[in-house]
Amino acid sequence: MGRLVVFNQVTLDGYFAGVNGDISWAHRPEKDEEVDSFVADNARSESVLVFGRITYELMASYWPTPQASQSDPIVAERMNTAQKVVFSRTLDKAPWSNTRLVKFDLAGEIRKLRESGKDLTILGSGSLVSQLAQEGLIDAYQILLCPVVLGKGRTMFDGLQERLNLKLTKTRAFPKGNVLLSYEPAG
C-alpha cells in the first residue's frame, strides 16, 4: 500500500498562504543551504506529486522555466519529470509534463493510487489536505515551520470538520531558523 505524505511550509502563526494566496514569504532572500539540500533530497523520491488547481498552476508556471532550471536545477529536473496528478473541476487541460487531470472523486482516486502501491506527496493544496485529512487518508505530514509571522492568511486545514490528532515523529532544526516537524495521525 502506498503512502500519502503532505509537505508544506507554514509561518510561525500557522499560515501556509498569506492574503490572496501570497507565498512570497516562503522564498526569503537569504539562502538556507541545509533546507535547500533537504528539499532536493525530499524531491528525490519516486512519489507521485498531487496538486489542487491553484498550486498546480503556480508550480506549472515556474518549474518548467529556464529561471527554475538555473536557480534550482536538481529540484526543477525532478519536478518536471515526476508523475503528477492535479485535481480540479475547472481545468480543461493540464499541459505540464507527466500530469494527469482528475475532475471527480478525490478520495476515491487517492485510494486507488495508494492501493496500486504508489507513494503520493501533496505540495501546497490546502483544500486537498483538509479534505483528505478528514477522510483519514494522509499518512504523514512534513511541516517546515518558517520564522515569519503574517498576521493573517490561510491554514492548510481550512474547512476541517473534526479535530485531527497527530503525534510528533521527528524534528529537525535548520541553522537559519526553519524547523521541520514530522507528524503522523495519532491512533
pLDDT band, residue 122 (cuts 50/70/90): very high
Task: List the domain boundaries for the chain.
Answer: 4-185
Higher pLDDT, 42 or 84: 84
Q: Per-residue pLDDT for 96 more than 70?
A: yes
% the chain with pLDDT above 70: 96
pLDDT band, residue 74 (cuts 50/70/90): confident
pLDDT in tens, 155-177: 999 888 899 999 999 999 998 89
Mean pLDDT of 107-130: 92
Backbone dihedral angles phi then psi of residue 91, each to the nearest 5 degrees = -70, 145
SS (H, E, C) the chain: CCCEEEEEEEECCCCCECHHHCCHHHCCCCCCHHHHHHHHHHCCCCCEEEEEHHHHHHHHHHCCCHHHHHHCHHHHHHHHHCCEEEECCCCCCCCCCCEEEECCCHHHHHHHHHHCCCCEEEECCHHHHHHHHHCCCCCEEEEEEECCCCCCCECCCCCCCCCCCEEEEEEEECCCCCEEEEEEECC
Q: Per-residue pLDDT for 27 more than 80?
A: no
Q: Per-residue pLDDT for 124 more than 90?
A: no
Q: Choose among 186, 107, 79: nearest CA to 140.
A: 186
What is the pLDDT, as a whole number, of residue 24?
85
pLDDT in tens, 50-64: 999 999 999 999 999
Q: Per-residue pLDDT for 77 more than 70?
A: yes
For domain 4-185, the CATH class is: alpha beta
Mean pLDDT of 19-23: 86
pLDDT band, residue 44 (cuts 50/70/90): low
